[in-house]
Structure 1
Amino acid sequence: MTVPSEPSVGIGWLSVAFGLANASIGVGVLNYPSAYDKVGGIAIAEYMQLIIVAIIMFSMFVLIYCADISKGNTYHEVLSNICGKRAEIVVAVDICLATYGICIAYLVTIGDQYDRIFMSYFGDNFCQNWYLDRRFTITVTSLFIAPLCYLKQLDFLRHTGPLGIVSMLYVVILTIYQHYALDDVKRGTIKTSPESFSSLLSVIPVMCFGYQCNEVVIPIYASMRNRRIKNYFKAAFIAWTTLIFLYGTVGYFGYTTFGSLVLPDIIQMFNARDPFVMIGVCALIFKMAITYPQMSFVGRGSFVGVYGILTKQSANDLEKREKCRRFIISSLWFASTLFFGIFAPDIGLVIEILGTLSVLNVFMFPSACLICLVKRTDLRLSLLVKSLFVITAIILSSVGIGALALVSYQIYVDIGSISQETKTLLCSL
């Protein structure tokens, strides 16, 4: 994207708000009731969300402030201009890993939805039939997704964005509906405090994953009709207010309905015999299937970008063997994500891993930008402003490092303590 040269060109701030909300909301919403349980209850979860959103908005404004200074129009450009070429490589790798993990999450979610349907109609032992096993259903569905991953452009999928919003909104409505419709549901305990301080901090990456969209912040900002931080603030305020309402609604009603028994994917708690649930399940399968190629496309582009930088090849050089490279990368990407998607224990673990990358985007990269701004001599920042930048960077990076360490330990613990109930439901052996 480029900065509009005329005031009449570009998108308005309301469109920006929709774009930010659409980029943020996704598979993470399915995991929010489980996050409420981990963090220690509704009140603490709501406070945590407000704090995380405040930090994310601050980091976002650091990035667009840097975009104004560097005149960059993409995440890569801004980090490269502010922090150097190495930062551009790190960002490209981060985006590549994030999109790779999201593709895995989509396949896991597809398997979860099939499990929900089959369990509702065939009972707990449905996985004894090989053709109902998630390893088979994910593989078959992915065969319809695979051809789209080899295309050079995905322009025909650009109109599917609203479907993602509608699908996630349906999850919100469905969670409320199930809260009042289920009378004989087995409910767990409702926590009022976290089990430990580490469990409290371990949810930070999960919530960061649900709200952050730093990769698209700068391109969207560059496409604004009136590129001003004030206008962007209005759009961001509306977007994140909407997201807080949506995530908070799913978290509250999902957690109060099932309590500590809630599974990492809230849809797994519903009965697919209910037509309203079946519609939501089918919509999620379709949404994940059409979004996977788009994430694969972005990840492939980031991978090629890193490859070009490391091998010092120009765009023309990369274009010469583009078809062969696209086939190899797409094949390896699809096959490996399918493997991990089949054998991943549950969506909660995948989101925790993805959350570690979100921590980098929210805490570490903006901190690096603040430090680099202090070192610049052309900005003429006062000593007070420089001191505030350094102190803020130290605080953000310290929280980020602490959260990364804790969530890494939590991932290790979760891998070794997947509950038997989840194993049975996901047909794991």
Structure 2
Amino acid sequence: MEELARESIRSMSLLSKPARGSGVPRLGSFGAVFIMLKSALGAGLLNFPWAFEKAGGIHTAISVELVSLVFLISGLVILGYASSISRQNTYHDVVREVCGQRIGHLCEICFVFNLFMISVAFLVVVQDQLEKLCLSIYETMTGHIDGHMPHHWYTDHRFALFLMCFIIILPLSIPKEIGIQKYTSVLGTLAATYLSIAVIAKYYLKDEHTADLRPEHSQGLDSWASMFSVVPTICFGFQCHEACIAIYSSMENKKITHWVFIAVTSMIFCLLIYTLTGE
């Protein structure tokens, strides 16, 4: 009877856990870091040069970044720990399990609204770049460099945006598991890194620097107000908390110590890229 009980317990444990090779692909450290980077790096990258100037210089801005990182990394670790103890795989499910039904419903509303506004911001940036790309392709193919392109339905940048959403964004949005994005996240991180390098190269390769033309930074209360005014911009640049629970739930190694390593590593890479761009 004891042997039969052991066999039944063993079979139940096997049924409760998916087979290692038969389930969905799990994330390793490499994939988790790149998805975190892809979630954080984005439109906020374009605002960091302004944030560094508004804060009063590179030293003040880096200090604001480091202080903000303490709270941002702590938030990532807390969310991962909450997911592990609640055994939930999504952000709003974790909030509902930990804080109750009402707070969970409020979180769902805020979550959808936040993601919708972020998506709109990204699509506006993409549309602006597609307009320049379509014009560049037209000038290259026709040889007419006048800054204008004849208006047709197939040359409209809105049509190009629709094609990009339908061919690229929609297929990436269909899978429920975020682990499938570990390959595209590498491309996204490389693209953000390229943008950072391009900004740095553009600044140092131009003939005349405009550093002497910058206005002098005020002292006292005005400087403190300027420093605190860039905190939302800097925190937005490191924002990846909406996706962190989905990333943690898809990881192969779900130890909290390992999750701390993933959070710290990804945020340090973000800090490096943002600081180089902001300089």
When normalised by structure 2's length, the TM-score is 0.72
Structure 1 residue 245 displacement after superposition: 0.5
- 1:154 alignment counterpart: 174
Report the number of matched residues. Answer: 240
Equivalent position to 1:65, from 70, 81, 98: 81
Q: Return closer, same or farther for 1:152/1:16 CA change in 2, 3 Å cut-off.
A: closer
Q: Which amino acid aligns with 1:184?
A: E
What secondary structure, in the 3-state scheme, does the structure 2 residue paired with 1:15 have?
Answer: helix
Q: Return closer, same or farther for 1:65/1:140 CA change in 2, 3 Å cut-off.
A: same
Deviation sequence 1:28-76 (CA, Å, 0-9, x none):
1111101112222211110111111110111112212222221212111
Structure 1 residue 147 displacement after superposition: 4.1
Equivalent position to 2:33, from 5, 14, 17: 17
What secondary structure, in the 3-state scheme, does the structure 2 residue paired with 1:227 have?
Answer: coil
User: Is the Cα–Cα contact under 8 Å of residues 199 and 277 in structure 2 kept in the other structure?
Assistant: yes
> Which of 217-226 and 158-167 deviates more?
158-167
Q: RMSD between aligned alpha carbons? A: 3.4
Q: Return closer, same or farther for 1:19/1:146 CA change in 2, 3 Å cut-off.
A: closer
Q: Is the aligned partner of 1:201 residue 2:220?
A: no
- 2:92 alignment counterpart: 76
Unaligned regions of 5+ residues in structure 1, if any? 253-429
Residue identity over aligned pairs, in percent, reads 26
- The structure whose RCO (Cα within 8 Å, separation 6+) is larger is 2
- 1:176 alignment counterpart: 200
- 1:420 alignment counterpart: none
What secondary structure, in the 3-state scheme, does the structure 1 residue paired with 2:36 have?
Answer: helix
Q: Is the aligned partner of 1:251 residue 2:278?
A: yes
Equivalent position to 1:26, from 42, 45, 57: 42
Q: Return closer, same or farther for 1:115/1:14 CA change in 2, 3 Å cut-off.
A: closer
Q: Which amino acid aligns with 1:39?
A: A
User: Is the Cα–Cα contact under 8 Å of residues 39 and 200 in structure 1 kept in the other structure?
Assistant: yes
Q: Which amino acid aligns with 1:48?
A: V
User: Is the Cα–Cα contact under 8 Å of residues 80 and 244 in structure 2 kept in the other structure?
Assistant: yes
> Which of 86-95 and 106-115 deviates more?
106-115
Tell which structure's C-alpha radius of gyration is larger: 2
- 1:49 alignment counterpart: 65
Q: Return closer, same or farther for 1:178/1:75 CA change in 2, 3 Å cut-off.
A: same
Q: Which amino acid aligns with 1:43?
A: H
When normalised by structure 1's length, the TM-score is 0.49
> Residues of 2 paired with 1:150 and 1:68: CA distance?
30
Structure 1 residue 96 displacement after superposition: 1.7
User: Is the Cα–Cα contact under 8 Å of residues 4 and 225 in structure 1 kept in the other structure?
Assistant: no
User: Is the Cα–Cα contact under 8 Å of residues 21 and 243 in structure 1 kept in the other structure?
Assistant: yes
> Residues of 2 paired with 1:175 and 1:206: CA distance?
18
Q: Is the aligned partner of 1:189 residue 2:214?
A: yes
Equivalent position to 2:121, from 105, 112, 132: 105
Q: Return closer, same or farther for 1:137/1:87 CA change in 2, 3 Å cut-off.
A: farther
Unaligned regions of 5+ residues in structure 2, if any? 1-15, 140-145
Structure 1 residue 180 displacement after superposition: 2.1
> Residues of 2 paired with 1:72 and 1:174: CA distance?
41
User: Following superposition of structure 1 onto structure 2, how do residues 336-351 of structure 1 map, counting pairs within 5 Å?
Assistant: none
